[in-house]
């Protein structure tokens, strides 16, 4: 398989910042650099990768807090999330204060993403799926050949994202999971924003929030 990945837990929230790279070219993207940039760059160096961009699933601090600094330091373009999360990005300084994080800078992504877009990592391509509910502009990245999804805070092993934030909505989140994620296939493995990996098939069987038996 030509697309490789490695997750690095960052910030006090242990957010899964994930390196994605094309094995042929060693060109890489960092998905959701929430903070702890040194830790991320060490993982990049260890593998001999060349970072070419930053991809973002949504605008929450623990996922994007390191974006401005990292993109400045290495001149990296930022792709994602969907524009509906711009209000979260604009509020980053407030989020940082609220959670006792070091001060973070606001940034403007070079590219907002939409349902049906694709993003490249080296010679590989990932599909973009817009999955609102946890935040209105949340996107999921899907590599069809290796059946790997990076789902941010949409879905976790045994749980789903919180919906009690501004513009969060529980029914919308459930619909995103059922209409946008399940059709990608039961065998799809996913890296969630926090905690261990799982598969869509496993969650359809046992996740108390979205298991098929809940919906009959
Ligand atoms: Zn979040
Ligand atoms: Zn999170």
If we measure between CA atoms, which residue out of 65, 57, 81, 91 comes closest to residue 10? 65
Predicted TM-score of the model (pTM): 0.97
Contact 88, 58 (CB under 8 A): yes
Ligand with minimal distance to 134 CA? 1
Cα 131–Cα 17–Cα 206 angle in degrees, nearest 5 = 55
pLDDT in tens, the chain (216 residues): 699 999 999 999 999 999 999 999 999 999 999 999 999 999 999 999 999 999 999 999 999 999 999 999 999 999 999 999 999 999 999 999 998 888 899 999 999 999 999 999 999 999 999 999 999 999 999 999 999 999 999 999 999 999 999 999 999 999 999 999 999 999 999 999 999 999 999 999 999 999 998 776
Q: How far is the CA of 1 from the centre of ligand 2 (A)?
A: 28
Backbone angles phi, psi at 155, to 5 degrees: -140, 140
Owner of token pair 């959670």:
99
Look up tokens 């373009």; give the residue: 77
Number of other residues whose CB lies within 10 A of the CB of residue 94:
11
What is the rounded CA–CA span in Å between residue 113 and residue 170? 22
Distance 102 CA to ligand 2 centre (A): 17
Gap from CA of 161 to ligand 2 centroid (Å): 8
- Nearest listed ligand to the Cα of residue 15: 2
């Amino acid at each position: 398989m030509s697309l490789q990945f490695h997750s690095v837990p960052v910030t006090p929230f242990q957010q899964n910042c994930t390196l994605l790279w094309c094995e042929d070219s060693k060109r890489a993207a960092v998905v959701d650099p929430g903070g702890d940039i040194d830790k991320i760059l060490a993982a990049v160096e260890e593998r001999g990768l060349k970072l070419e961009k930053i991809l973002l699933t949504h605008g929450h601090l623990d996922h994007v807090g390191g974006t401005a600094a990292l993109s400045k330091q290495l001149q990296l373009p930022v792709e994602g999330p969907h524009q509906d999360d711009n209000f979260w990005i604009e509020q980053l300084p407030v989020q940082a204060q609220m959670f006792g994080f070091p001060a973070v800078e606001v940034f403007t992504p070079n590219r907002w993403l939409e349902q049906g877009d694709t993003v490249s990592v080296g010679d590989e391509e990932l599909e973009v799926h817009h999955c609102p509910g946890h935040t209105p502009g949340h996107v999921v990245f899907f590599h069809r050949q290796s059946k790997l999804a990076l789902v941010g805070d949409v879905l976790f092993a045994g749980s789903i994202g919180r919906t009690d934030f501004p513009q969060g909505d529980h029914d919308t989140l459930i619909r995103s999971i059922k209409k946008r994620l399940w059709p990608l296939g039961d065998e799809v493995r996913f890296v969630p924003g926090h905690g261990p990996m799982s598969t869509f098939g496993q969650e359809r069987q046992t996740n108390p929030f979205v298991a098929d038996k809940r919906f009959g």
